[in-house]
Structure 1
């Protein structure tokens, strides 16, 4: 797979304590305030023939939905956008944000004001021995995703230690919060934050949000808003390496993303297997769905191959505690790079690459 993990999975993790069972905190699904149902309604996210990888979705204020994905024409990487005007049922190819001969991938879209959309993506120069210069590049469209222009580098650095996987959200004051992963050592990667108050033209200096000194490779962050007993809260999901291979954890913020607390496990596969690349969305009642890829059912572990896409659910946090359900299957092996977006109050659209960018709806039925 041309996915990002190939260049960052390590062969030499310290394995840590794996003796505890990962089922100790799993709620019986009866305790959840609702029931999540994965619908059998797969659809492509681009015009036929449907192809591309690393699919993500962005909702626009005019009711349309943009999908984004990476294609590989003529040994290049092309970042493409398609659009749905029927609630995410069908998508028509719309535009190309950029293409390059380097490692251009991991695109994430966010509408920041009506018709104005930012695209953030990794944009690395490659030499014979791998990446030589790392960037998180930002482009902007002011016509709903039809035409794009370069705006800024949200972050950049020289090799060897890399940056990847941007995610964006709007803060309470309308500022753009862009989070991404940065390596500080082979066994230490953190989630970083940069902020823009001018629609992506300039960015603050990066700060590490959590675990600066932890010997963990935190990555692939995604954030959703929810409520904890009347307090506004954000839940961030990440993949990490607490037990050597990848598992999924979460942390909570009560100050619009400035500080993060209550780190806990969302899903941990059996020892030696992996679960990673998580993304999170919330329903109207504050309940959440986390999608991720895992090779827990595969006899042969060769991450990121042989992985299926699964989803776990939780009700809103209760005083910093979140109870996650057992996983349900969304897409069988081999599927890659899931994303998720709230479609309406009780439906999310989960995306993944299985021979092309696809999606299924997941319904939340409150009890």
Structure 2
């Protein structure tokens, strides 16, 4: 698993970041003159920006007044050896994007990974409703014998154009990783941050933990959400969504023996009290056992039914027999709002050619449903045909039936 987290160094070696920030505008998939993609490259979609662009996240503003409906995207990018959060806007339902802001954490000179983006649905402390929050894993390139990775929290009150450091939500208790932060707000108004923690080794190779804050400034100690009895198992990559009746749904992978990074979910009534930490959860799979492995993500949207609808995506698509299936890299899953029930497969808007367990191709793709248009936006990463940089591509497709 450590190999999967070295993409900051590898990406820098692949290509120096271009400073171009011209708007990215969607072209026809596979249009005339498009170069044949390399293994792990995009077969369609539009490049979001020039140069390295990793770990995309997308939200549609819902609590920002006149800016509501704007799609905001974040990725991890680099300027020389220093990582940054790149922030983009789309005001045409994901057809084009323009870079509008940058998050520059001082610690990112020593490594930046796995950023997250969140809009506050209500006021938290002095942070008003509609504030955007950004966090990431910082400091992984320091020497492991002395490093203590951190999770900085940055806030924007102008839809991502400018940013202010608010706090550090957590610092690693040892020299191992803190990966893939994710935010939610509890029914009582507490800000919650979830993260994958490697610092309980050798008892646990990795666990998912959480911290809470009444104001985004002061944070509780990290407490376990998922810590499986098998010390070799690695729950990670938490993603949290709110369901119609108020339940919180966590999506995550479980790597390690037998599981091989399969996709699971679990529920909480309040986003802080989850089912027993030793339980693995409910698998995300179809009736015939088709499932994702590696870097899963999940999205919920209102389709007019009581439960709404769920969408899932992951790096690679497998069958029940453990073989990689045709459609790996170009498939999403859909579910009628009850994640413990069977899922179904559908075509993804962006197709990545033959992804494998690697930091780039189709690594942690993100989905944003646009139900008012009957569409879904996807952002995923792949290798460029020329130069070989790992970069982000976006595309819009029809929502599955």
Q: TM-score w.r.t. structure 2 length? A: 0.69
Pairwise CA distance, 1:204? 2.0
Counterpart CA distance in 2 for 1:204 and 1:224 is: 22
Q: Aligned pair 1:119/2:134, yes or no?
A: yes
CA distance 1:347–1:195, change in 2 (3 Å):
farther
By percentage of residues, which structure has more strand?
1
2:330 and 2:194 map into 1 onto residues whose CA distance is 23
What is the correspondence of 1:248-287 to structure 2 with a 5 Å cutoff? 248-260=263-275, 263-267=281-285, 275-284=293-302, 285=305, 286-287=308-309
Per-residue CA deviations over 1:186-245 (Å, capped at 9, x if unaligned) read 6532211112221x2222222111235343200111122235xxx433321111125152
Change (3 A) 1:181 1:96: same
Q: 1:214 to 1:96 in 2, by over 3 A?
A: same
Are 1:185 and 2:201 an aligned pair? Answer: yes
- The 3 A distance-change label for structure 1 pair 65 and 309 is same
Question: Following the alignment from structure 2 to structure 1, what is the Cα–Cα distance between the partners of residues 275 and 229?
Answer: 15
* Gapped regions of structure 1 (runs ≥ 5): 8-38, 302-306
Q: Is the 8 A contact 1:79 1:105 kept in 2?
A: no
Matches within 5 A, 1:210-289: 210-215=226-231, 216-227=233-244, 231-241=245-255, 243=258, 245-260=260-275, 263-267=281-285, 275-284=293-302, 285=305, 286-289=308-311
Q: Report Cα offsets for 1:58-110 as digits up to 9, x if no partner.
A: 22232212111111221222221111122222111111101532111211111
* Mapped pair 1:343 → 2:358: no
Does the CA contact (< 8 Å) of 2:266 and 2:274 recur in 1?
no
Q: 1:207 aligns with which of 216, 223, 237?
A: 223
Cα deviation, residue 311, structure 1: 1.3
**Matches of 2:73 and 2:3 in 1, distance apart?**
18
Q: Which runs of 5+ in 2 are unaligned?
A: 8-27, 31-43, 121-127, 356-360, 385-390
Distance 1:104 1:3 in 2: 15
SS, match of residue 101 in structure 1: helix
Deviations 1:159-193 (A, max 9, x none): 33321101112322333221111122265322111
CA distance in 1, matches of 2:139, 2:155: 19
Structure 1 residues 347 and 223 mapped into 2: Cα distance closer, same or farther (>3 Å)? farther
Verify the 8 A CA contact 2:52 2:78 in the aligned structure 1.
no
* C-alpha deviation, 1:143, in angstroms: 1.8
Matches of 2:78 and 2:113, distance apart in 1: 10
Contact 1:223–1:279 (CA under 8 A) maintained in structure 2 = no
Matched with 2:187 is: 172
* 1:363 and 2:398 correspond: yes
Give the 3-state SS of the residue equivalent to 2:100 in structure 1. Answer: strand
The answer as to whether partners of 2:365 and 2:380 remain within 8 angstroms in 1 is: yes
* In 2, Cα distance between equivalents of 1:140 and 1:250: 28
2:178 aligned with 1:163, yes or no? yes
Contact persistence 1:107–1:166 (CA under 8 A): yes
The answer on whether the counterparts of 2:54 and 2:76 sit within 8 Å (CA) in structure 1 is: yes
Distance in 1, matches of 2:333 and 2:81, equals 37
Whether the 8 Å contact between 2:208 and 2:235 is mirrored in structure 1 is yes
Name 1:34's counterpart in structure 2.
none
Whether the 8 Å CA contact 1:43–1:89 is kept in 2: the answer is no
**Is the alpha carbon distance of 1:115 and 1:138 closer, same or farther for their aligned partners in structure 2, counting shifts above 3 Å?**
same
What displacement does 1:51 show? 4.6
- SS state at 2:367 partner: strand
Q: Deviations over 1:231-280 (max 9, x none)?
A: 43332111112515221111122344422378121149xx9x98111111
Q: Does 1:322 align with 2:341?
A: yes
In 1, Cα distance between the equivalents of 2:47 and 2:189? 29
Equivalence for 2:96: 90
